Amino acid sequence: MKKLESLSIGDVAYSANMAIASVISYWIMTYALSGLVGSETDYLGGMWATVATIFVFRDTRMASLSAGAQRFMATCVSFALCETYLLIFPFKAVGMAALLGIGTLILMILGRREDIVTTAITTVVVMVVAAIDPRAAWLQAPLRLLDTVVGIAVGIGLKSLTSFLFFRDCVAKPRK
């Protein structure tokens, strides 16, 4: 049986910080930017921005920046594939499968195998939501891109800000 670890104040602060960043992302997409999209997609946008925030929220600023770049790259590949497809064709399961395969091959060619899963998940979300509302299918890829950018920005921004403030406090020299 594995021994339970004790939590530090830093662990609790990290947990609270991630929770705060997540609710900020959710709030931005469901309330602050809700006028940009229909009310049916407000909650989906909030969820997707929150997922992006959680995805990029890492132990260090550099790890968060790296995760943000990965998330953005994966979302851009999915955006390009889904938007092209949905401007030409309606949702079909076989079309979604083709996009998953094409996206995987593109990322392999680009040497970004670590982004395959994220691209695939994004593609499935965009395509299934397009199937739910075929009248606005072509809007799903740009909306999920916007959600992702907001989530990445909030996650990296809040992580960087609090890391800077915490780090600054830790290395501040005592006054003479």
**Domain assignment of residue 110, yes or no:** yes
Percent of the chain as helix, strand, coil, to the nearest 5: 85, 0, 15
**Domain assignment of residue 161, yes or no:** no
CB atoms within 10 A of CB 13: 12
Say if CB 117 and CB 159 are below 8 A apart.
Answer: no
Q: What is the pLDDT of residue 136?
A: 83
pLDDT in tens, the chain (176 residues): 777 788 888 888 889 999 999 999 999 998 877 776 666 677 888 999 999 999 999 988 899 999 999 999 999 999 999 999 999 999 999 999 999 999 999 999 999 999 999 999 999 999 999 999 888 888 889 989 999 999 999 999 999 888 887 765 444 444 45
**Domain assignment of residue 33, yes or no:** yes
Q: What is the pLDDT of residue 86?
A: 97
Q: What is the pLDDT of residue 170?
A: 44
**Domain assignment of residue 162, yes or no:** no
**Domain assignment of residue 37, yes or no:** yes
Angle at 77 between CA 75 and CA 83, to 5 degrees: 90
**Domain assignment of residue 170, yes or no:** no
* Total-model pTM: 0.86
CA separation for the pair 141, 130 (Å, rounded): 9
**Domain assignment of residue 40, yes or no:** yes
Say if CB 63 and CB 71 are below 8 A apart.
Answer: no
Number of domains making up the chain: 1
CA separation for the pair 107, 105 (Å, rounded): 5
Q: What is the pLDDT of residue 135?
A: 85
**Domain assignment of residue 167, yes or no:** no
Say if CB 61 and CB 160 are below 8 A apart.
Answer: yes
| Type of residue at 109 | I
Supply the range of the domain harboring residue 65. Answer: 12-152
Q: What is the pLDDT of residue 59?
A: 87
Q: What is the pLDDT of residue 37?
A: 61
Closest among 152, 161, 157, 158 to 56, alpha carbons compared: 152
